[in-house]
Amino acid sequence: MTEQRSGRISAYFSSSKPILPRKRPCDSSPRHPNRVKNAGDVGLDSVAERVPLAEVPLNVFNARNVSVSALGSANQNLCQSLFETPRREPEGSKPKELDYFSASGLLDDHFDDSILEQIDILVEQKSAEKAAEQQLVRRCDEKVLSKSNVAGEVSVSSGCDSVSGGLGNDYLLSSGVELHTKQEEVDTSLQGLLNSNSSMPEEYLKYLQSLNDRQREAACTDISTPLMIVAGPGSGKTSTMVGRVLMLLNEGISPSKILAMTFTTAAASEMRERIGSIAGKTTAKELTISTFHSFSLQLCRSHGEKLGRTSEFFIYGQGQQRNAIIEAIRLLENEKSGNKNGALLMGDLSNGLKDPKQFKDKAKKWQKFVAQAKASGRTSAEYRAMGNEIGAEILENYNNILKSCNALDYHDLISCSVMLLSEFPEVLKECQDSWKAIVIDEFQDTSGMQYKFLKILASHHKITIVGDDDQSIYSFNGADISGFRSFRNDFPNYKEIRLNKNYRSTRCIVEAASSLIQNNSKRCQLKNVLTDNSSGSKIVMKECHSEDAQCAFVVDKILEISSNHSADNCCFGNIAILYRRQVSGKAFQMAFRDRKIPFNIHGVAFYRRKVVRTIIAMLRTTLPDCDDGSYSRVFKALLPLEKDKTMKIIDHINKISTIRKCSFVSAAFDIFSAKISGTFKRSELTHGRKVLMTLEMISKHIQRVDSFCKL
């Protein structure tokens, strides 16, 4: 972008900042709402005895009943102490505009008692897990003490493997699933392994022994051979990867030089936990097990200046990307509007600009275009060469806008990492020195750009990829299963191992799934998934005429199964329901509540709920190191204004916090403590003040509930 064009990026856009958590050091400013905490105040996590939220008396912790008098005094003194327990006010006596939770309407829309119940269930579960874990550790300690010389009797499970002097033939892995292995069935390759690895730790050997032949072959393949493991669901991919990492460790590669990439943080922690249960927690901690994005983020932050950014660049999420796209279109429109040829080119775009709905659709379309361009690594020059002039211009404008705002988006993290590795030999050397072996999980989900990144990073060929072409679910995000083909071409001395034995499902399910997936045209080759498991029950297909009928059928079925005590797996905890849309989930939740069926919503879905995220953000604001993102989310939720006005306020706070290099909340305090402002109306200032007051009150109440629970 020329300097001239860059100058045309609207000041309003340039001033906006992403709404992503950006940790700031604890603000010691006297205005910080958390400052009111006393030395004797207790943190959230130190609650002695937990009272279920659903049972907490309303006048102690009910956001809807915050003290009116305290809120009313907001204008006089924001920092005034509010140590009075708020009382439940008679409905009529509460001035509506002062009750921020009801005024904003956000919590009304999404909040019901089920959320408190779900929080209680989650907390109960966590406490139960913790208690069970502690008990287990105690029991293991006792067993080790009493049976340290007795081989073949101790059952060892997660967290205790390292203390197992005499493991029996049957043992448990960290997942809790029993793996029955027989010493006499040791195959020759394992024997060979034993012979050639007399120094291999016993735990490693035992683990490798528990794998089947193909899994073991994969784990033990020479570490300099690029390895491709193609594996179906439940066939032991993770188990094999764990074995592979153990072999890398055994070959002398330091844990800190092994890089494992996964697609989710949940997968990363599962892998770390499994490795930790065999190689020890210290070793597992030293491994770098990361998602592509967090790994790339670190690399980009360390070399921000090479990317034309500071190391503290912003990361644009969906909303900010959309704004940048709109700005890119606006720039292009401005540029072309006086130009005849341009007007022809932009005809389609200009029409869209007149109608907000159409414009929104256009912005969405271009956002998708930019995302795909970035995932595939196409440049604007390439689009221009392909004759897509508008696409090339928008991509170019978008990139320049982000650069001028010191920002990157998620796709940039990967492409910038590729650029760092390919254009800066010193960065490549640094990475090559750092990562001596690489293991990639869910390879089918890697985009073209991610693959490029891996290829450069794995120039030493010590790379293992694990994936299943039948399970590629990220095509919307640029994932490209042609990566398997590229791997074969780029690493010609590769070895391919297929794991086709399913350990998780019954034969009926495996066969049904196989016959369905065979219709998938984009597969590596036809795969034959097998299982030794029993046939299990037949799959029942039931057609229901409405959602209610479907719900009733499922509920009856669950009650029928759970009352059949003679059957295995008859308890509620062994039943799962998958549904396509959140709204169907709600119908099930209501029905389960009515019929007193205990249930749990999948963790991620629960935490992703807008209201839950807002509550979590509110709770975070009571902690001293709360990030700006949480404050910004709370402001967004509590300001009882239209969306664009709310965003204008948040953008302004962000802008002031950037200029003054202070936290979001300090900037907000400065802005809203003014009686008049050139930017905001008096009523907007009042709303802002009230939000700050509400935050302060929440902080107080959390402390109060904390003390209440301790009594």
Ligand X SMILES: Nc1ncnc2c1ncn2[C@@H]1O[C@H](COP(=O)(O)OP(=O)(O)OP(=O)(O)O)[C@@H](O)[C@H]1O
Q: Which of 42, 79, 179, 513 binds ligand X (CB under 6 A)?
A: 179
Please tell me whether residue 533 binds ligand X under the rule CB under 6 A: no
* Nearest Cα residue to 250 out of 214, 275, 268: 275
Contact 690, 706 (CB under 8 A): no
Give the whole-angstrom CA distance, residue 465 versus residue 497.
10
Site stretch for ligand X (CB under 6 A), options 105-113, 172-180, 645-653, 670-678: 172-180
Q: Does 235 belong to an annotated binding site?
A: yes
Site stretch for ligand X (CB under 6 A), options 62-70, 228-236, 423-431, 541-549: 228-236
Q: Which of 306, 495, 504, 609 binds ligand X (CB under 6 A)?
A: 504
* Nearest Cα residue to 551 out of 600, 594, 607, 602: 594
Task: Identify the DSSP state of 476.
Answer: G
Q: How far is CA 571 from CA 267, 551, 587, 597, 677, in A?
A: 27, 19, 21, 11, 62
Show contacts with ligand X in window 405-434 (CB under 6 A). none
Q: Which of 151, 177, 516, 590 binds ligand X (CB under 6 A)?
A: 177
Give the whole-angstrom CA distance, residue 561 versus residue 537.
12
Please tell me whether residue 237 binds ligand X under the rule CB under 6 A: yes
Please tell me whether residue 503 binds ligand X under the rule CB under 6 A: yes
Q: Say whether 103 sits in a helix, a strand or coil.
A: helix
Please tell me whether residue 379 binds ligand X under the rule CB under 6 A: no
Please tell me whether residue 209 binds ligand X under the rule CB under 6 A: no
Give the whole-angstrom CA distance, residue 350 versus residue 333.
7
Q: Which of 70, 71, 103, 231 binds ligand X (CB under 6 A)?
A: 231
**In the bound complex, what is the minimum distance in angstroms from residue 61's beta carbon to ligand X?**
39
Please tell me whether residue 497 binds ligand X under the rule CB under 6 A: no
- Using the minimum distance from each CB to ligand X, give the nearer residue, 238 or 686: 238
Site stretch for ligand X (CB under 6 A), options 175-183, 358-366, 482-490, 515-523: 175-183
Please tell me whether residue 266 binds ligand X under the rule CB under 6 A: no
Q: What are phi and psi of 224, to 5 degrees?
A: -85, -5
Please tell me whether residue 391 binds ligand X under the rule CB under 6 A: no
Q: Which of 34, 104, 215, 666 binds ligand X (CB under 6 A)?
A: 215
Q: Which of 233, 280, 304, 317 binds ligand X (CB under 6 A)?
A: 233
**In the bound complex, what is the minimum distance in angstroms from residue 536's beta carbon to ligand X?**
15
Q: Which of 65, 238, 432, 486 binds ligand X (CB under 6 A)?
A: 238
Q: Does 231 belong to an annotated binding site?
A: yes
The site that binds ligand X (CB under 6 A) totals a number of residues, namely 17
- Please name the residues in contact with 553: beta carbons below 8 A apart, sequence gap of 6 or more: 542, 544
Q: Does 18 belong to an annotated binding site?
A: no
Please tell me whether residue 175 binds ligand X under the rule CB under 6 A: yes
Q: Does 288 belong to an annotated binding site?
A: no
Q: How far is CA 100 from CA 96, 97, 624, 644, 684, in A?
A: 8, 7, 23, 18, 13
* Nearest Cα residue to 27 out of 674, 706, 661, 654: 661
- Backbone dihedral region for residue 206 (phi beyond 0: left; psi -120 to 50: alpha; all else: beta): alpha
Site stretch for ligand X (CB under 6 A), options 173-181, 276-284, 350-358, 380-388: 173-181
Sequence letter at residue 639: L
Q: Does 232 belong to an annotated binding site?
A: yes
Contact 495, 225 (CB under 8 A): yes
Task: Identify the DSSP state of 90.
Answer: P
- Using the minimum distance from each CB to ligand X, give the nearer residue, 177 or 385: 177
Q: Does 236 belong to an annotated binding site?
A: yes
Strands (E) in 297-446, as ranges, are 314-316, 407-409, 437-440
Contact set with ligand X (CB under 6 A): 173, 175, 177, 179, 211-212, 215, 231, 233-239, 503-504
Annotated binding site: 231-238
Annotated binding site for ATP: 231-238
